Amino acid sequence: MVYDARSVSGSRSRKDATRPAAGRRPRATAATADTEADLAAERPTALTGDEPDTAPDEAPVTLRLDGKVALVTGAGSPDGIGYATARRLRDLGARVAIVSTTRRIHDRASELGVTGFVADLTDEAEVGALADAVTDQLGDIEVLVNNAGLASRTSPEVLRPVAQLTYDEWRAEIDRNLSTAFLCSRAFVGSMCERGWGRIVNLAATAGPINALPTEAAYAAAKAGVLGLTRALAMELVADGVNVNCVAPGTIYTAASTVTEIKQGLGTPIGRPGTPDEVAAAIAFLCSPAASYITGQMLVVDGGNSVREAEFR
């Protein structure tokens, strides 16, 4: 099933896209400080070896997402990271929604047996309409993968030196790669905080947070911004049970890969480009209950390329 957010983007969304996320837990007051101190004194300070491996109210560590509602953005390509991620989350038991800017998402949704939506995620009104539609059809989103923004053949990366880069080109790259993550995160964090559980995984890149190449300043700046957004949001939501992380792929082989990019992949320590499934595996882990003690982090998936100091001979 495909929903086109553009059909209602002119009307006011039932949800206020600018509403703040649910507040943090109340700070301790003078009236509660003594009680909390007494409770703390009663807690054991160290394990003795006789205690169970997990606390009585602690959920078991699992990769399964049974019953969770997940949204993966930028899943229109059949051999892209978004599509591979949606498939993996579905296989882990999640009820998955996918979104892209064109109606080809209908084909991807049919192939995966999930629900598809069409929306321009750089448009605030369309993101608000999308949030309403996903919630109405599937329920509150508990897992959000902000994959939209990676370059494709239909929407190529702007490659131009800063001195020749127009302001419109700069803004387009920032909007596509950073604003989409901001708008989608803002649309769904409120319900995650209300439920007391959530996972957000943003797609950064090695370009920007770790390194850069000439002519890619806008893209690198946007992806560095994704890391900053991830860390700030993680600290804002940590008390509400919502973990926020990002994955930074290096050279990944997709239909949009250029010959130059493939050659770069062959030059990594592992000796080949990565695959969308390998990136999806990292994303899925960070989406799972097993990643409960990980937040504000960036997981690099680049075949070790960012680690080495010099080319191997």
Mean pLDDT for 30-34 is: 47
Instruction: Reply yes or no on whether the pLDDT at 62 is more than 70.
Output: yes
pLDDT band of residue 270 (cuts 50, 70, 90) is very high
Provide the angle, in degrees to the nearest 10, between the axes of the packed helices 276-287 and 81-91. Answer: 50
Paired tokens of 279: 């990136």
Residue 311, helix vs strand vs coil: coil
Sheet with 198-203: strands ordered across: 2-4, 115-118, 95-100, 69-73, 143-146, 198-203, 242-249, 298-301
Report pLDDT for 1. Answer: 58
Average pLDDT, the chain: 85
pLDDT, one tens digit per residue, over 284-310 is 999 999 999 999 999 999 999 999 876
Paired tokens of 163: 């001195």
Answer whether 200's CB lies under 8 Å from 243's CB: yes
- Which 8-state DSSP code applies to residue 143? E
Residue 93, helix vs strand vs coil: coil
Paired tokens of 307: 């680690």
For 109, counting Cβ atoms within 10 Å of its Cβ (0-12 exposed, 13-18 middle, 19+ buried), the class is: buried
Distance spanning both ends of the chain, measured CA to CA:
52
Element (H, E) at 198: strand 198-203
Neighbours of 236 (CB within 10 A): 16
The one-letter amino acid at 138: L
Q: For residue 109, which of 95, 120, 123, 126 has the smallest C-alpha distance?
A: 95
For 106, counting Cβ atoms within 10 Å of its Cβ (0-12 exposed, 13-18 middle, 19+ buried), the class is: middle
39-43, 109-113, 140-144, 215-219: least confident range: 39-43
β-bridge pairing 69-73 and 198-203 = unpaired
pLDDT band of residue 89 (cuts 50, 70, 90) is very high
Residue 166, helix vs strand vs coil: coil
Q: For residue 279, which of 143, 81, 71 has the smallest C-alpha distance?
A: 81
Give the up-direction half-sphere exposure of residue 98: CA atoms within 13 A in the CB hemisphere: 32
Catalytic residues: 219
Mean pLDDT for 147-175 is: 84
All structural domains of the chain, each given as residue ranges with its CATH number in brackets, are 69-301 (3.40.50.720)
Query: Model pTM greater than 0.85?
Result: no
